[in-house]
Amino acid sequence: METTVYHIPALLPETIDGLAIRPEGVYVDVTFGGGGHSRAILERLGKEGKLFSFDQDMDAYENAKASETFAATNWQFVHGNFRYIRNFLDYHGIAAYDPNETDSGIDGLLADLGVSFHHFDEAARGFSFRFAGPLDMRMNQSGGKTAADVVNTYDEEALARMLYLYGELKNSRGLAHKIVQQRAKARIETTEQLVAVLTGQTVTYAPSGETDVDPRFKKDLARVFQALRMEVNDETKALEEMLEAAKVMLRPGGRIAILTYHSLEDRIVKNFLRSGNTGGEIEKDFYGNVLTPFRLINKQVIVASEDEVNRNPRSRSAKLRIAERVYGSK
C-alpha cells in the first residue's frame, strides 16, 4: 500500500475536478512535492495521455521512486524550477501552443504553491523554527544563496522591506534592527540562533531536535521564516514567470488551477487570471469588453471545508483559483 507522508495536498478533489482532465490530454504539475496531485491526474489519464511533473528538489523524486504509480510510461519527472517550464517542455517535445501545429501546447497546468510537510519537518533544511538546524531554506540545494546569507548580508532596510512584503510583519523594522545588531557580534547561522535573536530568549531544543517556542512569538516567527523562504527561492518572480509561460503553453479550452497560501501570491494569481497579466492591468475593446485570455471557472475563490481543515490544519490558508484558456484570445 502506498502512503502519503511527504505531503498531504489541500483541496485535492476540487483541484483535480477543476482541471476537467481529458484522458488523452497533456498535463503539467509544476509543484510535484509528495506527488498527491500528480497521482490523481495519472489516475484520470489514459495511456495516450501525458503528465510532466516539475520539482526543483530531488528529495521529491527520491520519495516518488518507490511508488508503482510513477513507474508509468506516460509520466515524466522534470528536475527544475517551474519558472522555466516553457524551456523544459520544449526540450521534451512540447512546444508553445500554435494553432497550426496539432501536437503543440498543453491541456492543463496545476500549481500548489504550498511548502511540502517534508520541508517543514526536515530539520536539516531549516524551513521551520520548530527544529534546530542550519538556516538553509533552499528548495534546490545544488546552489544559490541560503537564508543565512540573506540574514547576514542584506542591509537593514532590505531586511525590513523583505519582512514586511513577504511576511506582512508590521514590526519588520524592529525585527530587522535586532538581526543587524546581533550579526555585528557574531554571524547568525542556525534556526535556534535566529529565534533567540528575534524573541530575546534562549531557546532550548529536545533531543529529538524540536522545541516548544513561547506561543507569544509563534505567529511572528512563522512569518519571518516564510519571508526568508520566499526571498531565498525568489518565489514571487518565479511565479510571475511561470504564469506567463502557462499562458502561451495552454491550448484553447485548457485549464489552469493554482493553489496559493499567501496574500501576495493570491493577488498575483487573481490579477493574472482576470486580466492575462500579473499586474492586473485591464485592457478593453472598443465596446468596453474586457480583453482577457482566460475565463474564470470559479468567480469566488475556493477554500477548504471545515472538515478538511480538521483533518489537515495546513489547508486552512489554501485558496484555489481555476480558469480556462479562451478560444481565439491573444
**What Å distances lie between residue 32 and 6, 9, 29, 94, 147, CA to CA?**
11, 10, 6, 19, 23
**What Å distances lie between residue 294 and 2, 22, 98, 248, CA to CA?**
37, 19, 17, 12
* In a shared domain, residues 206 and 259: no
Does any domain span residue 195?
yes
Q: What is the pLDDT of residue 20?
A: 98
The tens digit of pLDDT for each residue in 171-222 reads: 999 999 999 999 999 999 999 999 999 998 777 777 777 777 777 888 999 9
Which residues, in sequence order, are CB contacts of 302 under 8 Å at separation 6+? 11, 14, 18, 319, 320, 321, 322
Q: State the helix-helix crossing angle for 12-19 and 36-44, rounded to 10 degrees.
A: 40
Does any domain span residue 136?
no
pLDDT-derived band of residue 6, with 50, 70 and 90 as boundaries? Answer: low
The tens digit of pLDDT for each residue in 91-140 reads: 999 999 999 998 899 999 999 998 877 667 787 788 888 888 999 999 98
* In a shared domain, residues 108 and 18: yes
For residues 151 and 328, what is the distance between their CA atoms, to the nearest angstrom?
48
* In a shared domain, residues 167 and 305: no
Q: Report the SS3 class of residue 239.
A: helix
Does any domain span residue 104?
yes
The tens digit of pLDDT for each residue in 269-301 reads: 999 999 999 888 888 887 777 788 999 999 899
pLDDT-derived band of residue 330, with 50, 70 and 90 as boundaries? Answer: low
322 membership: H or E segment, kind and range = strand 319-325
> Residue 63: exposed, middle, or buried by beta-carbon count in 10 A (0-12, 13-18, 19+)?
buried
For residues 275 and 157, what is the distance between their CA atoms, to the nearest angstrom?
33
Res. 3: pLDDT tops 60:
no
Q: Report the SS3 class of residue 213.
A: coil
Res. 304: pLDDT tops 80:
yes
Residue for grid cell 486580466: 275
Q: Which of 208, 232, 256 is the last residue of a domain?
A: 232
Res. 259: pLDDT tops 90:
yes
The number of distinct structural domains making up the chain is: 2
pLDDT-derived band of residue 1, with 50, 70 and 90 as boundaries? Answer: very low
* In a shared domain, residues 24 and 109: yes
Q: In this structure, what C-alpha cell is assigned to residue 146? A: 541560503
Per-residue HEC secondary structure of 98-158 comes to ECCECCCCEEEEEEECCCCHHHHHCHHHCCCCCECCECCCCCCCCCCCCHHHHHHHCCHHH
For residues 201 and 212, what is the distance between their CA atoms, to the nearest angstrom?
13
* In a shared domain, residues 242 and 267: yes
Structural domain span for residue 306:
12-117+236-325
Question: Is the separation of the CB atoms in 198 and 220 below 8 Å?
Answer: yes
Which range is least confidently modeled, 72-76, 113-117, 188-192, 248-252?
A: 113-117
* In a shared domain, residues 223 and 288: no
